[in-house]
Amino acid sequence: MDEVYKKVSKFSLEKFGEFFGNIPRIISSPSIFFETIDGSDKEFVKASAFALVVGSLMAILSTPSYKIHDLNLEPSFYAIDIMISWILFATYALQTWFVCKIFMGRGGVISTMSAFFYSMAILVFVKMFEIPSRIIRDEELLGCNLTAETADKMSQAVYSNTYAVSSEMYVAIGYFIFFIVLTNLVKTIHNFGVLRSIAVSLTSLYTISITVSYIQRPVTGSLLCAFKQNV
């Protein structure tokens, strides 16, 4: 058992080390970084592990909101949350690849997904800036009354709170940086020109925002409510 724990700990430390080692490369020279991504299965496995680290960090950054709302969640909640995050990342990556194909992109699905997993590192910092507004949104979700109006109620609650509004401004800056990284991703992987890369990135972000509204948030709310019953 100790041997397994040591191997898991070593693997985790290596992957977290890779995360912090790759962040400067992704931000400073995204095109050069994405040129190193190939369509091999080995690269996909490596990128998938990177995405799990991203999901883990996002789960950790969600903890302040859970604590403020007096949720002492079980470890199994975080395990499920991280797995759901990975599935959502894969969904976003597939959406991006599909949009690229509509725009006659040349890149493969595996290379696109691998590169997208790495680009998600930017959203860890977005998640950090989002903590104040996340607290407001979670309060609405924890009412455990998910309806068609829930998204509107969450937005109204956020924009009625000064700190949450300030948080959203920094989140917007973070998403703009993500947009730049995503533009470089599709440009490099799919050999697009600048204008087509911008159009693809904007379209991809739009489809992703729909998924966030109609899939991610309801799933997160349902998961929170399910585990809330056991608190």
| 29-52 pLDDT per residue, tens | 999 999 999 888 999 999 999 999
Tens of pLDDT, residues 111-150: 999 999 999 999 999 999 999 888 888 887 777 776 667 7
Are 27 and 122 in contact by the 8 Å Cβ rule? The answer is: yes
pTM of the model: 0.89
**Sign of CA pseudo-dihedral 158, 76, 2, 44:** negative
With CA atoms as reference, report the closest residue to 50 among 24, 84, 77, 12.
12
Task: Give me the pLDDT at residue 9, please.
Answer: 66
Whether the CB-CB separation of 141 and 69 falls below 8 Å is answered with: no
pLDDT tens digits in sequence order for the chain, 231 residues long: 556 556 656 666 777 777 888 888 998 899 999 999 988 899 999 999 999 999 999 999 998 888 888 877 788 888 999 999 999 999 999 999 999 999 999 999 999 999 999 999 999 999 999 998 888 888 877 777 766 677 777 778 788 888 888 888 999 999 999 999 999 999 999 999 999 999 999 999 999 999 998 888 888 888 888 877 554
Identify whether the C-beta of residue 65 lies closer than 8 Å to the C-beta of residue 134.
yes
